[in-house]
């Protein structure tokens, strides 16, 4: 069912849940752009939780360490159900991963299939995975970039919504290159999220 009538460029009534693990500069950009973030969920203690609190946004930690941590003992499905429980409690319509370091499993896609977005610091399908910036540098490419895509069960593999190139400089380190990529992500991700909302992710996850 469709929610209340909204102008196509309005974000009114849509509730975003943002997933973070790190410094949260992309989260900051989403908040600065006025996107309707109702909860920030982290999988580990991180600056992203502080940013949420500073902005008066609910901040919840679903700590991986209480689900077996980072090794083979990690209970990924149980952890994923914990994240879904938090998102459900905050009536989230659209899930936005912003530097989230855990791959979510089927319970998340059962609840939010097609409504989980991710930004990745490479031009997918090139350089998927956790070390995309280092891998691009090691491969000696002249151009890399970032990709906003719909998250699916396979990591860094869902339908691409937006991409933008970033030139690699001869003196780049992974840190300098990643920062230039993130400058683009901080602009491209909010704009793409607005486009997704305008295209029809409404309250309750309805499409129009």
User: Smallest distance, Å, CB 197 to ligand GRF?
Assistant: 20
We find the least distance from the C-beta atom of residue 31 to ligand GRF, in angstroms, to be: 11
Binding pattern for the stretch 11-40 against ligand GRF, x by CB under 6 A and - elsewhere: -----------xxxxxx-------------
Helix-, strand-, coil-residue percentages of the chain, each rounded to 5: 40, 20, 45
Count of residues touching ligand GRF (by CB under 6 A) = 13
Closest by alpha carbon to 30, among 190, 193, 194? Answer: 190
Residue nearest to ligand GRF (CB): 99
Interface residue with ligand GRF among 81, 115, 180, 182 (CB under 6 A) is 182
Site for ligand GRF in 110-139 (CB under 6 A): 119-121
Interaction between residue 107 and ligand GRF (CB under 6 A): no
Nearby residues of 159 by Cβ (< 8 Å), 6 or more positions away = 149, 150, 152
**Residue in 55, 90, 109, 120 annotated catalytic:** 120
- By beta-carbon proximity to ligand GRF, the closer residue of 26 and 193 is 26
Rank residues 98 and 123 by Cβ distance to ligand GRF and give the closer one: 98
Task: Determine, following the binding rule CB under 6 A, whether residue 98 of this chain makes contact with ligand GRF.
Answer: yes
User: Is 99 one of the binding residues for ligand GRF (CB under 6 A)?
Assistant: yes
3-state secondary structure 6-60: CCCCCCCCCCEEEEECCCCHHHHHHHHCCCCEEEEEECCCCHHHHHHHHCCCEEE
**Whether the Cβ atoms of residue 18 and residue 40 lie closer than 8 Å to each other:** yes
| Nearest to ligand GRF of 45, 200 (CB atom) | 45
Give yes or no: 120 in active site.
yes
For Cα atoms 71, 76, 80, give the angle at the middle one, nearest 5 degrees: 140
CA distance 6 to 52: 26
What Cα–Cα distance (Å) separates residue 73 from each residue in 41, 69, 77? Answer: 22, 7, 12
Binding site for ligand GRF (CB under 6 A): 22-27, 98-99, 119-121, 182, 185
As annotated, the active-site residues are: 120
């Amino acid at each position: 069912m469709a929610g209340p009538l909204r102008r196509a460029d309005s974000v009114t009534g849509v509730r975003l849940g943002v997933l973070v693990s790190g410094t949260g500069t992309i989260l900051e950009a989403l908040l600065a752009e006025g996107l309707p973030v109702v909860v920030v969920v982290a999988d580990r203690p991180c600056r992203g939780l502080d940013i949420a609190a500073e902005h008066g946004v609910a901040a919840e930690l679903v700590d991986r360490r209480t689900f077996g941590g980072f090794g083979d003992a990690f209970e990924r499905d149980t952890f994923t159900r914990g994240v879904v429980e938090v998102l459900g409690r905050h009536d989230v319509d659209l899930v936005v991963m912003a530097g989230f370091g855990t791959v979510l499993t089927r319970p998340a896609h059962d609840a939010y299939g097609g409504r989980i977005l991710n930004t990745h610091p490479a031009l997918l399908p090139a350089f998927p995975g956790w070390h995309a910036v280092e891998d691009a540098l090691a491969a000696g490419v002249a151009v890399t970039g970032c990709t906003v895509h719909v998250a699916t069960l396979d990591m860094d593999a869902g339908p691409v919504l937006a991409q933008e190139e970033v030139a690699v400089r001869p003196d780049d380190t992974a840190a300098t290159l990643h920062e230039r990529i993130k400058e683009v992500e901080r602009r491209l991700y909010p704009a793409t999220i607005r486009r997704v909302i305008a295209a029809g992710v409404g309250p309750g996850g309805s499409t129009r």
